Amino acid sequence: MVSIREFQNMMHRIYFHNDSERGADRTYRWLKEEVDELGEAMQNADEKAVEDEFADVIAWLASLANVLKIDLEKATLSKYGNRCPKCGSSPCKCPFVIRKS
Ligand SMILES: [Zn+2]
């Protein structure tokens, strides 16, 4: 098993030379594009494509974090470590809300 930090470090080893050259704004645009492709794969109910797009989304998220020097493991676990950040409970006890958009 690979931790979030190990995954981010792996992405750094493989892609940082390109990611740093591309910069934060263009890397962010790639990430948004991959999120859109994930949505399209879901709409097409294409299970293999959904899996591929999840991989792309997390890869580009890690790339963007590397460019911005954000420690993804620290960021995620300090906010979501073992409990809901809003109500402090696990499982979450916040009222269930369905977003319209
Ligand atoms: Zn909650």
Query: How many angstroms separate the alpha carbon of residue 84 from the centre of ligand 1?
Result: 5
Whether 84 contacts 94, CB under 8 Å: yes
For helices 47-67 and 24-43, give the axis angle rounded to 10 degrees: 170
Decide if pLDDT at 99 tops 90.
no
Q: Taking every pair of C-alpha atoms in the chain, what is the biggest distance, in angstroms?
A: 44
* pLDDT bracket for residue 100 (50, 70, 90): confident
- The alpha-helical segments, DSSP class H, found in 1-101 are 4-22, 24-43, 47-67, 72-80
**CA–CA dist 27, 10 (Å, integer):** 17
Query: How many angstroms separate the alpha carbon of residue 83 from the centre of ligand 1?
Result: 8
pLDDT given at position 68: 98
Decide if pLDDT at 79 tops 80.
yes
Q: Which amino acid is at 94?
A: C
Query: How many angstroms separate the alpha carbon of residue 95 from the centre of ligand 1?
Result: 8
The position carrying tokens 């962010």 is 28
Best CA proximity match to 76, nearest among 17, 10, 4: 4
Query: How many angstroms separate the alpha carbon of residue 48 from the centre of ligand 1?
Result: 32
Answering whether pTM is above 0.85, one says yes
Query: How many angstroms separate the alpha carbon of residue 90 from the centre of ligand 1?
Result: 8
